[in-house]
Amino acid sequence: MKISREEVLRVAELAYLDLSEAELEMYRAQIDEILEYIGKLNELDTANVEPMAQVLSDDQTADATLREDLIVPCAVAEDVLKHAPDAEPPYFRVPKVIER
Amino acid sequence: MGTNWTIDGVRVALAAKKISARELAADFYKRIESRNPELNAYLTLSPERARRQTDKIDGLVAQGKPLPPLAGVPVAIKDVISTRGIKTTCGSKILENYVPPYDATAVERLEAAGAVILGKTNCDEFAMGSSNENSAYGPVKNPLAPDRVPGGSSGGSAAVVAAGLAVASLGTDTGGSIRQPGSFCGVPAMMGSYGRVSRCGLIAFASSLDRIGPFATNVKDVAAILQVIAGRDPLDSTSTTAPVPDYGVELEKRVKGLRLGIPKEYFGEGMDAGVRKKIETGIGLFKKLGCQLVDIRMPHTDYAIASYYVIATAEASSNLARYDGVRYGLRVDDDSLLAMYRKTRGAGFGAEVKRRIVLGTYVLSAGYYDAYYLKGQKVRSLIAQDFRDAFTKVDAILTPTSPVPPFKLGERTADPLQMYLADIYTVTGSLAGVPGISVPCGKIDGKLPVGLQIFGAPFGEARVLQLAHAFEQAGGAAV
């Protein structure tokens, strides 16, 4: 077994994801099977292989994509707040974070 | 007027005043009204925005002014691509009421070129899926075979073009999500090189893999859409400054003498016999066109799915952290902030998205990062190297798009790993960053469409389009 029930719980905790009992067991079994499959990566010797950090290293792009750090107008706050679940412009409102 | 519109056909008809842009859009909406209840391919229609655009185009016609390249062309946009003022749900409950405050660059460019946005298309939730069955708003039916899936994740974008409910559409491809539905619905569908089209406004699934690209009824129209949306965008630092050639000109060049690689690894077990037959006939057609077929090896192909599902889920778990019930979308209230996060995400995400968040968080977590994520990235390098090696010998690579024809609705939903394996021929090009197209290559028993995939070298979109166009002109869709 690649992944235990406790590990799924811990990961769901890290991801702030509520899972029901049924989901927990289903995901454990399915992810176990997927990890089993992913294990085939270990058939390859990658000791001397660099991880792929950039998709297409296009030399002419490297410098051209750096831009000057300029302040530009961006008046979207009103629009953005309009679609927030709970807003009190100019703020988003959330449940109390700090206990006194 | 007929229903088989092309981009050129629309422009000629508008200029000759045979139809107005407004009438054309109304015509499409009428067809959508009659067919969409059955297909479920559109999630949201945008008639007001379409009306503003058609008024503009009809104004140009009335004044005898030159028409932009996509003047009056009715298009559809996948619902993971942001459209200002038009609901963009990503096929998810968590964004059920989300209305973006800005347009994706690709959308902005389409509209600036005269296209008329009819609405937003259904897709797998956050583009995660290969059948469109992971949409929170129900599956899409394949217009060519209503008991079958349209492919995914851009199932709606493929279906609307195949059903004549848009002249062209935009989809997104992360592991095959443009090419595979293109194959399943019998329409050409293209993913440019990573960086060719700006991702600004594309709601992220896996940022190192996500790409926007077109569906259309013919390769020339695919090229015309790509022409408009391609090119550097200061709002996406991964978009390339590499010049965009005139695809319309490149398209017509002769393919005689081009060397086409046939990788043995893409023709192994697991391929449906009917698909194999069509693809072999299709490849034969390239030989008749004077291309030279070269047997090549791409030895790491078999590891692509494993590498892909590590990298894609890792990136997804990070990208989807933003859905926290604070700034947009669903919130499930609780007195505690952390419980609010957990409940919101637990209630808002569907099964496949949760599965991938758990898997992605796991492969990135302390103790497993090296074994899974780093290993996946190293194998990704090997797969990219396979492509670099191949392109020293050949001009393009031919493969099937999917190992199987469109499968039945519900047939594969119980087993996620089996669903992942359906992407076996497409994820390789996604990992390597190269461009690829799926072009119709006959129908099994005259009914189920097969797609032939053409991969090009990085930024070799012109070559890919040229081959696809030649194939189409030679009768590839009817092999």
Domain of B395, CATH number, reads 3.90.1300.10
Q: Is residue A57 pLDDT above 70, yes or no?
A: no
Q: How many domains does chain B have?
A: 3
Contact check, Cβ <8 Å, B433/A49: no
Using CB atoms, which residue from A15, A38, A79 is nearest to B306? Answer: A38
Instruction: Name the least confident of A88-97, B91-100, B207-216, B387-396.
Output: A88-97
pLDDT in tens, B362-419: 999 989 999 999 999 999 999 999 999 999 999 999 999 999 999 999 999 989 998 8
Pair B18, B144 in one domain: yes
Pair B156, B209 in one domain: yes
User: CA geometry: angle at B148 spanning B120 and B34, to 5°?
Assistant: 50
DSSP 8-class letter at B139: P
The 3-state DSSP class for residue B19 equals coil
Tell me the average pLDDT across B264-284.
96
pLDDT in tens, B176-216: 999 999 999 999 999 999 999 999 999 999 999 999 999 99
Q: Model-level pTM greater than 0.90?
A: yes
Q: What is the pLDDT of residue A65?
A: 64
DSSP 8-class letter at B369: I
Q: What is the pLDDT of residue B409?
A: 97
* Contacts for B386 with CB less than 8 Å, ≥ 6 apart: B298, B299, B300, B301, B428, B432
Pair B49, B127 in one domain: yes
With respect to residue B138, please indicate whether it lies within any of the assigned structural domains. yes
Contact check, Cβ <8 Å, B341/A96: no
* Contacts for A14 with CB less than 8 Å, ≥ 6 apart: B361, B365
* Contacts for B282 with CB less than 8 Å, ≥ 6 apart: B398, B441, B442, B450, B452, B471, B476, B479
Contact check, Cβ <8 Å, A41/B376: yes
Pair B160, B242 in one domain: yes
pLDDT in tens, B247-270: 999 999 999 999 999 999 999 888
Pair B154, B226 in one domain: yes
Q: Hey, which residues of B are catalytic here?
A: 78, 153, 177
A83 to chain B, closest Cα gap in Å:
6
| Residue B225 banded pLDDT, cuts 50, 70, 90 | very high
**Residue with token string 């050639």:** B245
| Separation CA B204–CA A23 (nearest Å) | 25
Q: Helices A5-14 & B351-364, crossing angle to 10 degrees? A: 90
Q: What is the pLDDT of residue A75?
A: 82
Residue of A nearest to B336 (CA): A95
With respect to residue B232, please indicate whether it lies within any of the assigned structural domains. yes
The 3-state DSSP class for residue A44 equals coil
Pair B43, B155 in one domain: yes
Best of B358, B383, B419 to disrupt the A interface by mutation (most A CBs within 10 Å)? B358
Contact check, Cβ <8 Å, A18/B342: yes
pLDDT in tens, B103-122: 999 999 999 999 999 999 99
Q: What is the pLDDT of residue B374?
A: 96
Q: Is residue B19 pLDDT above 90, yes or no?
A: yes
Q: Which residues from chain B sit within 8 angstroms of residue A80, using beta carbons?
A: 101, 327-328
Q: Which residues from chain A sit within 8 angstroms of residue B346, using beta carbons?
A: 17-20
| Residue A63 banded pLDDT, cuts 50, 70, 90 | low
Q: Which residues from chain A sit within 8 angstroms of residue B342, using beta carbons?
A: 16-18
Number of H helices, E strands in chain A: 4, 2
Q: What is the pLDDT of residue A100?
A: 67
DSSP per-residue letters across B38-106: HH--EEEE-HHHHHHHHHHHHHHHHTTPPPPTTTT-EEEEETTB-BTTB---TT-GGGTT---SS--HH
| Separation CA A66–CA B136 (nearest Å) | 39
Q: Which of B314, B338, B370 is the last residue of a domain?
A: B370
Q: What ranges do the domains of chain A cover?
A: 1-44
Average pLDDT score, chain B: 97
DSSP 8-class letter at B193: -
Q: What is the pLDDT of residue A58?
A: 54
Pair B166, B235 in one domain: yes
Q: Select from B67, B76, B75 the least CA-distant residue to B113.
A: B67
Give the domain range for residue B472: 259-303+379-478
Pair B402, B429 in one domain: yes
| Separation CA B450–CA B403 (nearest Å) | 9
Q: Is residue B2 pLDDT above 60, yes or no?
A: no
Question: CATH classification of A1-44 is 1.10.20.60, yes or no?
Answer: yes
Tell me the average pLDDT across B154-158.
98
Residue type, B144: L
Query: In sequence order, what are the beta bridge partners of B456?
Result: B396
Contact check, Cβ <8 Å, B342/A11: no
With respect to residue B129, please indicate whether it lies within any of the assigned structural domains. yes
DSSP 8-class letter at B239: S
**Residue with token string 């004044």:** B63
What's the token pair of residue B432? 């390597």
Q: Select from B154, B130, B158 the least CA-distant residue to B217.
A: B158
Pair B94, B227 in one domain: yes
With respect to residue B2, please indicate whether it lies within any of the assigned structural domains. no
- Range list of H helices, B297-336: 304-319
User: CA geometry: angle at B329 spanning B326 and B333, to 5°?
Assistant: 55
With respect to residue B230, please indicate whether it lies within any of the assigned structural domains. yes
Contact B190, B437 (CB under 8 A): yes
Radius of gyration, CA atoms only, chain B: 21
The 3-state DSSP class for residue B114 equals coil
Contact check, Cβ <8 Å, A41/B338: no
Q: Which residue has the higher pLDDT, B400 or A56?
A: B400
With respect to residue B1, please indicate whether it lies within any of the assigned structural domains. no
**Residue with token string 């012109």:** B462
With respect to residue B197, please indicate whether it lies within any of the assigned structural domains. yes
Residue A93, Cβ density class (10 Å: 0-12 exposed, 13-18 middle, ≥19 buried): exposed
Residue type, B125: E
Q: Which residue has the higher pLDDT, A79 or B189?
A: B189
Pair B214, B312 in one domain: no
Q: Which residues from chain B sit within 8 angstroms of residue A72, using beta carbons?
A: none
What's the token pair of residue A97? 């974070």
* Contacts for A74 with CB less than 8 Å, ≥ 6 apart: none
Q: What is the pLDDT of residue A97?
A: 85
Q: What ipTM does the predicted assembly reach?
A: 0.93
